[in-house]
Structure 1
Amino acid sequence: MPMNLIQRMLANKSSRHPDQRPPTALQTREKIWFDMYVTKNGEQINNTICREGITYCKVDAGETYTLVALGSNIPSHFHTNSMGLEFTTEIKVRIQCIADTQILIEEERTITGTEANNYRQEFALSIDAMLPTCELVLRMDVVVAKDAVRTIGTKKLFIKGTYEVIHPQILHECQIATRLPDNVSILSILPHPDPAYQFGFTVQGWNSGQNLPTLQYPNRKPVSIQQYRQEGTDFMDIRVNIRNLSHYLKNYEHKKLPIWLTWLEKSYHEECYLIIEDESALEIPWEMLELQGDYRYLGVEFKVARWISRSVQAIPMNLAVNTSTHQGSVISYLDSMLKEEETKAERAILQHFLLEECSDLNSLNQRFKKDGNLTNIGLIYIGSHGEAGNKLHMASQQVFPAGRLKLMDEHAYPRPLAFFNACESARLGLIGTFDNNSFVTTLLERIVQGYIGTLAEVGSKRASAIAYSLLSTAQRNPDLPIAAILQQIRKEAAQRLRQTYENLSDDDPKEKAAEQAFIYTFLYVYYGNPLASLRLTPREETSCNNN
Structure 2
Amino acid sequence: MPPAEEGSPAPRAASTEQDTLGSFPADPAERLPHGLARLLVQRVRDSDGNQAYVLSGAAGSDGDDDVPPYSTGPQLPPLKISLGRIRPDGAFPTQFYRAVLDWSRRQRPLVRWLNELRARYGDDLHLVVWDDTDYEIPWEMLWLGAEEPGDPPAGSLGALVPVARWTTIRELDRSLLDPPAHCTGEVVGYFDQRMWPDADAFQPFRHERHGDVDTFLASLDGPDRDLGLVYMGCHGTYGKDVDDLTAGLLTWYEMDEPAMTALGGRSTLVCLNVCHSGRLVDNRAGGEDALRGFSELFLRKGATACIATRGEVGETAARALLARLVEHAVRTPGKPLARMLRDFRAGAAAGLPDPLPRTKLGDGAVDREGQRQVLSFLYQFMYVYYGHPLTTLRLAPSAASAPGARHAAGPPGPREDRA
TM-score by length of 1: 0.59
The CA deviation at 1:437 is: 3.6
Is 1:390 matched with 2:249? no
The CA deviation at 1:216 is: 2.0
Is 1:358 matched with 2:215? no
Distance 1:499 1:543, change over 3 A: farther
The CA deviation at 1:217 is: 4.5
Distance 1:229 1:397, change over 3 A: closer
The CA deviation string for residues 88-119 of structure 1, in whole angstroms up to 9 with x for no partner, is xxxxxxxxxxxxxxxxxxxxxxxxxxxxxxxx
> For residues 521-540 of structure 1, what are the structure 2 equivalents within 5 Å?
521-539=380-398
Is 1:511 matched with 2:370? yes
Distance 1:245 1:484, change over 3 A: same
> For residues 440-459 of structure 1, what are the structure 2 equivalents within 5 Å?
440-459=295-314
The CA deviation string for residues 243-294 of structure 1, in whole angstroms up to 9 with x for no partner, is 11101112xxxx2x22211111011111210000111210101001000147
332, 335, 344: which one aligns with 1:477: 332
Distance 1:422 1:399, change over 3 A: closer
- Structure 1 residue identity aligned to 2:307: I
The CA deviation at 1:333 is: 1.0
Separation in structure 2 between the aligned mates of residue 196 and residue 238 of structure 1, nearest angstrom: 28
Consecutive unaligned residues in structure 2, runs of 5 or more = 1-23, 61-65, 147-152, 404-419
The CA deviation at 1:539 is: 2.2
Separation in structure 2 between the aligned mates of residue 484 and residue 398 of structure 1, nearest angstrom: 29
Separation in structure 1 between the aligned mates of residue 203 and residue 397 of structure 2, nearest angstrom: 9
Q: Is the 8 A contact 2:86 2:312 kept in 1?
A: no
Distance 1:217 1:175, change over 3 A: closer
Is 1:203 matched with 2:55? yes
379, 385, 389: which one aligns with 1:520: 379
Distance 1:288 1:488, change over 3 A: same
Distance 1:180 1:397, change over 3 A: closer
Is 1:319 matched with 2:176? yes
Aligned length, in residue pairs: 354
Is 1:305 matched with 2:157? no
Distance 1:242 1:419, change over 3 A: same
- Structure 2 residue identity aligned to 1:497: L
246, 257, 264: which one aligns with 2:117: 264
The CA deviation at 1:305 is: 0.3
Separation in structure 1 between the aligned mates of residue 324 and residue 299 of structure 2, nearest angstrom: 24
The CA deviation at 1:431 is: 5.7
Q: Is the 8 A contact 2:53 2:77 kept in 1?
A: no
Distance 1:396 1:326, change over 3 A: closer
Query: Which residue is equivalent to 1:279?
Result: 132
Distance 1:442 1:369, change over 3 A: same
TM-score by length of 2: 0.75
Is 1:249 matched with 2:103? no
The CA deviation at 1:328 is: 0.8
Is 1:428 matched with 2:283? no
Query: Which residue is equivalent to 1:99?
Result: none
Distance 1:499 1:331, change over 3 A: farther
Separation in structure 1 between the aligned mates of residue 159 and residue 180 of structure 2, nearest angstrom: 21
Q: Is the 8 A contact 2:94 2:356 kept in 1?
A: no
The CA deviation at 1:192 is: 3.6
Q: Structure with the greater relative contact order (CA < 8 A, sep ≥ 6): 1 or 2?
A: 2
Distance 1:401 1:313, change over 3 A: farther
* Higher strand fraction (1 or 2): 1
> Among the aligned pairs, what percent are the same residue?
24
Consecutive unaligned residues in structure 1, runs of 5 or more = 1-171
Query: Which residue is equivalent to 2:406?
Result: none
Distance 1:241 1:473, change over 3 A: same
Q: Larger radius of gyration, structure 1 or 2?
A: 1
Distance 1:420 1:210, change over 3 A: same
The CA deviation at 1:231 is: 5.9
- Structure 2 residue identity aligned to 1:352: P
Distance 1:199 1:435, change over 3 A: closer
Separation in structure 2 between the aligned mates of residue 534 and residue 412 of structure 1, nearest angstrom: 17
The CA deviation at 1:347 is: 3.5
The CA deviation string for residues 423-480 of structure 1, in whole angstroms up to 9 with x for no partner, is 1100121166555441111111113111010011011222112221232123210000
Distance 1:448 1:498, change over 3 A: same
Q: Secondary structure at the match of 1:173?
A: coil
Q: Secondary structure at the match of 1:531?
A: coil
The CA deviation at 1:221 is: 4.2
Q: Is the 8 A contact 1:174 1:307 kept in 2?
A: no
Distance 1:316 1:196, change over 3 A: farther
Distance 1:416 1:511, change over 3 A: same
The CA deviation at 1:353 is: 1.6
